[in-house]
Structure 1
């Protein structure tokens, strides 16, 4: 119920009511919410207040709007801890989801100056470029491009890259992955990226670049990933 005598803003109380319905499973992803007018009449509040609550829930990723159709419950975002180095496949399995990949291309290319610097190899040296759409329960989550030195990672095939690269590196080649450095920034999706991820062109995405190293400090891969900002968020635990 809305308590109009509470110091807590009415729009915030309505947000909490809707979030509780989502968390209890009474509102499921894809469900349409009643119109703003219905909420206003039900709680005897203004439509402007309802719109304010809806807008905040849209911005926070709980709801989304479709022009001319209404407001709907969004898929919940996957929370990715920033501690620990795991593969996408490992992350999805931990969540009880089925990981998958759709290979866009797999080719041998000469390293550009930037890629050569990232991998500590000579410019124009042979590099595998692997572009994949990463899936969770058949839903696109990220567009990932890996660059790996062909002299370091011998015997790579399409069949292998359709599985887990980390499993192949460690299990088959005996390479000991030790640590990685990673940057995360906000970006706007291109038309090409949007098509792969099934989102609107110009929609918000997370641009992630990662360098992964072996125990002796040798760079083993450089990865550029475009994650759906509507389905992914990152979490870090900080201690004083």
Structure 2
């Protein structure tokens, strides 16, 4: 389902729908996807929007093109799971010796669309915070972060409160919640025009796309986060040990 009233770009929503169909097996590896015209007619969107969604999925490795034949579903990506510590951006930057800060793009309460409702395990159209920020290290923009949280789980949250301290620290102190763990996926992507403006990079520049679902101690989902990192300024390092 495409929500044209959502602040999320339509091409991004379409790409997520296609990925969902791939992940749940509705679209199999090697199968041709519908044409741009079919997608455009089905969702009442422009072919240019469809093309951008498909281009992004090709760049991310979900789809591949066969000249003269069409666009097809790729084999599933290999997944290697690591176990690490759950920390906030603020905590990470301070640990590395940088001064973290944020430049606000958006803070509002919106009705949860289906993808966000699914990650937060709430009903579609329930109120959620949509928090969009440019994350900076020593005043240099390194990421755009979009956070979704249930406004019923975390009532009365304000932008001013988030400006005063780390979101995690505020939640644990104010609501006496214990943030337990989370699941992250990290993939390669390229910068959209929106991201290029806020991160001061070229459109199409390499990016690292991270999605995170964070849970409280009782396994209640706390947040769903989409973060787009500049690949020229950010890398993920994971310490691993061999167990015997």
Structure 2 length normalisation: TM-score?
Answer: 0.64
Name structure 2 gaps, 5 residues minimum: 1-81
Q: Distance in 2 between matches of 1:160 and 1:226?
A: 24
1:205 Cα offset (Å) = 0.4
Query: What is the SS of the residue equivalent to 1:118?
Result: helix
Deviations along 1:122-161, one digit per CA (max 9) or x if unpaired, are 1100000000001110000110000000000111001123
Which residues in structure 2 correspond to 1:106-185 (within 5 Å)? Answer: 106-162=107-163, 163-185=165-187
Secondary structure in 2 matching 1:234? coil
Tell me, yes or no, if the aligned pair for 1:82 and 1:234 is still in contact at 8 Å.
Answer: no
SS in 2 for 1:233: coil
- Structure 2 counterpart SS, 1:239: coil
Q: Which residue of 2 aligns with 1:17?
A: none
| Secondary structure at 1:103 match in 2 | strand
Matched residue count: 160
Give the C-alpha shift of residue 82 in structure 1: 6.8
Q: Does 1:232 align with 2:234?
A: yes
3-state secondary structure, aligned to 1:145: strand
Q: Whole-Å Cα distance in 2 between the matches of residues 236 and 93 of structure 1? A: 18
Runs of 4+ in 1 over 6 A off after TM superposition: none
Q: Which has the higher contact order (CA 8 A, sep 6+)?
A: 1
- Could you tell me the TM-score, scaled by structure 1's length? 0.65
Matched residues in 2 for 1:187 and 1:101: separation? Answer: 22
Describe the shift of the 1:228–1:91 C-alpha distance in structure 2 as closer, same or farther (beyond 3 A): same
Largest Rg, 1 or 2: 1
Alpha carbon RMSD of aligned pairs, Å?
1.3
Distance 1:105 1:144 in 2: 11
Between the aligned partners of 2:83 and 2:180, the Cα distance in structure 1 is 15
In 1, the alpha carbon distance for the partners of 2:140 and 2:134 equals 10
CA offsets per residue over residues 90-147 of structure 1, 9 Å max, x none?
A: 1111112111011101010000011000000011000000000011100001100000
Structure 1 residue 238: Cα displacement? 2.4
Which residue is equivalent to 1:16? none
Query: Are 1:82 and 1:235, in contact at CA under 8 Å, matched by a contact in 2?
Result: no
Deviation per residue, 1:72-101 (Å, 9 max, x gap): xxxxxxxxx972000000111111211101
Q: 1:54 matched to which residue of 2?
A: none
Ranges in structure 1 where 5+ consecutive residues have no aligned partner: 1-80
In structure 1, what is the equivalent of residue 20 of structure 2? none
